[in-house]
Amino acid sequence: MSKISKDLVDVYFQHGVDLNNRRIFLFDEINESSVGGVIKGLYLMEQNNNKLPIELFIGSFGGSEYEMFALYDTTRTLSSPIHTVAIGKCMSAAPLLIAGGEKGHRYATPNTFFMIHEGSSDFGVSRKEDYRSVGKHLAQLHNTWSELMAKHTNKPKIFWEKMCKKVHDTHFDVNTAIEWGIIDHVWDQKDGK
């Protein structure tokens, strides 16, 4: 591969991609633009060396379920192990992305807070038939999310379904995230942990 210029490295770093250290940062809403940049960065790092881990740092209030699934699926196609780190906030669409990292290498900083809830729709529907269709589709999205959370954590699918059926959002801290199996470790380098 040809040498990458310093200007190109600077552009990537401005957009959350640190090629030299194999780190990608997603500190934004999970949407087409932010996830598109992360996916491009993942594939760029993969082509440079597919044996070294890639660290994916996420601090997000969440966003689109479709983009969450797109990024999740992309991490499954790579040969590089994906190590995940939640920083500050890991909410809505973000917990699955952290939980989907390589087991034993899923971290959160000590003061990261998590939140899960039932997905919602912002589809602009006006016909009664469309409401039924959207309702079925939302149930399908939630079912897929619950199955994947069960696959990557130590809680069964029914647990995740019940947690998301609550009237209010479910907020929790890193200790609960470890207990439920979303992360493996609290990351605090200065304390040597």
Displacement of CA 132 from its chain's centroid (Å): 29
Where is 88: in which H helix or E strand?
strand 82-91
pTM: 0.87
Instruction: Tell me the C-alpha distance between 162 and 154, whole Å.
Output: 15
Assign 48 a pLDDT band (cuts: 50, 70, 90). Answer: confident
Q: Quick one: pLDDT at residue 136?
A: 86
Does domain 6-117+168-191 bear CATH number 3.90.226.10? yes
For 117-165, how does the pLDDT look when each residue is reduced to its tens digit (9 = 90+)? 987 655 555 556 666 777 788 889 999 999 999 999 999 999 999 998 8
Q: Classify burial at 77, counting beta carbons within 10 Å of its beta carbon; exposed 0-12, middle 13-18, buried 19 or more.
A: exposed
- Tell me which of 68 and 12 has the higher pLDDT: 68
For 51-61, how does the pLDDT look when each residue is reduced to its tens digit (9 = 90+)? 899 999 999 99
152 phi/psi in degrees, rounded to 5: -100, -5
93: left (phi over 0), alpha (psi -120 to 50) or beta: alpha
